[in-house]
Amino acid sequence: MKKFFKILAGVLFAALLLMTFWFLWQKTRPVKVVYAIVEPKVDTLRQYVVATGKVQPRDEVLIKPQISGIISAVYKEAGQTVKQGEVLATVKVVPEMGQLSSAESRVTVAELNLSQTRREFERTEQLHGRGVVSDEEFEQGRTALRRAEEELQNAKESYEIVRDGISSRYKELSNTQIRSTITGMILDVPIKVGNSVIQSNTFNDGTTIASVADMSNMLFQGNIDETDVGKLREGMPVKLTIGALQNVELDATLEYVSPKATEASGVILFEVKAAVKIPDGVFVRAGYSANASVVIESREGVLTLPEGCVEFEGDKSYVQVLTSPEESDEQTFERREVKIGLSDGINIEITEGVTAGEKIRGARTEQK
């Protein structure tokens, strides 16, 4: 039994020794590096400048009341479309008691004045019929009657305005009915029935009843870094990608580049705007975040290589051209100077030094 264990220990020791020698031999073997082989191809290169921002309606109007009061009814909600002049809500006027009392008193006085003037005119009319009163005095009496009637009408209208916010004679022009000033879609209705609202005046912006915008006329608003702003000019084509709309790319036209910069977190940015073309069947909501890619340079039908194949040394560029057969176990390369052109960050234009069909060293694929 002891002899068996001795033999087993000897075998294990020999196996461990052999494995150690094999491992050390493997470590001392030279490493064989294998590279991917690529060929130059004819392609189209485009260089972009990217701006981040959001898509907003070009014209968004805040509807505000022309009278203070309490919302008595709301007829529309966000997402609905409205036409210009359509009623959005109704405001109930809460009269100030001092003004209401004064207006009511004015109506009473006007009624008393009219009653007295009418009696005087009736007497004057009877005397004029008998020839006792001259025509001039008769006309003066009739004018006084008409003036008293007009004063009563004005007093009643003033009372109605204080009490209801509008007179019965101009009910079609009632400012208690809040109407949309444009045709478009309602984006937000921040008020509810029972809310108090303040009229828009020179001292106050007023309470917003609703915001309405034309959703067919959209505008991209974004910011671009100062290093790229010099490459932009108005009229450039823009491609918009919106994160909320998968596989949808919108066309736009650059129409504004801010002449003044803004600073955000130590970065100098310039505002840009682009008119967005909304295709049929696509609904773009206000405030969607978007990226705008502006094509600043384009080359078609040029010879290109992946940018990783090019080695840069000072102001010169080089590639490694395969000199051994492609099926050979040993890869050999010749370093050759090339001239480069436009780059899109992935591929780069080769203007001189390489022709189509040549084999160029690419990225390292494996080691042996």
SS3 110: helix
pLDDT tens, per residue, the chain with 368 residues? 666 666 767 767 777 777 776 666 566 656 667 778 888 888 888 888 888 899 999 888 999 888 788 888 899 999 899 999 888 988 877 666 666 567 677 777 777 887 888 887 777 777 777 777 777 777 887 888 888 888 877 777 776 666 665 556 555 545 678 889 899 999 999 989 888 888 877 778 888 999 999 888 899 999 988 888 888 888 888 889 888 888 888 889 999 999 999 888 888 999 999 999 988 888 888 889 999 888 888 888 888 888 888 888 888 888 888 888 877 777 788 888 888 888 877 888 888 888 888 888 888 776 55
Query: Can you give the pLDDT at residue 272?
Result: 92
Identify residue 88 by its one-letter amino acid code. L
Decide whether 33-45+300-367 matches 97-166 in CATH topology. no
Compute φ and ψ for 117, nearest 5 degrees: -65, -35
Cβ-Cβ contacts under 8 Å for 70 (sequence gap 6 or more): 91, 92, 94, 194, 195, 196, 197
Architecture of domain 49-57+215-298: Beta Barrel (2.40)
Query: Can you give the pLDDT at residue 173?
Result: 45
Location of structure tokens 């509008």: 166
Query: Which fold is adopted by the domain 60-93+176-213?
Result: OB fold (Dihydrolipoamide Acetyltransferase, E2P) (2.40.50)
Q: What secondary structure letter does DSSP report for 29?
A: S
The reply to whether CATH 2.40.420.20 applies to domain 33-45+300-367 is yes
Query: Which fold is adopted by the domain 97-166?
Result: Helix Hairpins (1.10.287)
Query: Can you give the pLDDT at residue 274?
Result: 93
Which run of H or E residues covers position 355?
none
- Taking the C-alpha atoms of residue 271 and residue 1, their distance in angstroms, rounded to an integer, is 90
Q: What are the structural domain ranges in the chain?
A: 33-45+300-367, 49-57+215-298, 60-93+176-213, 97-166
Nearest to 243, CA basis, from 274, 280, 276, 287: 287
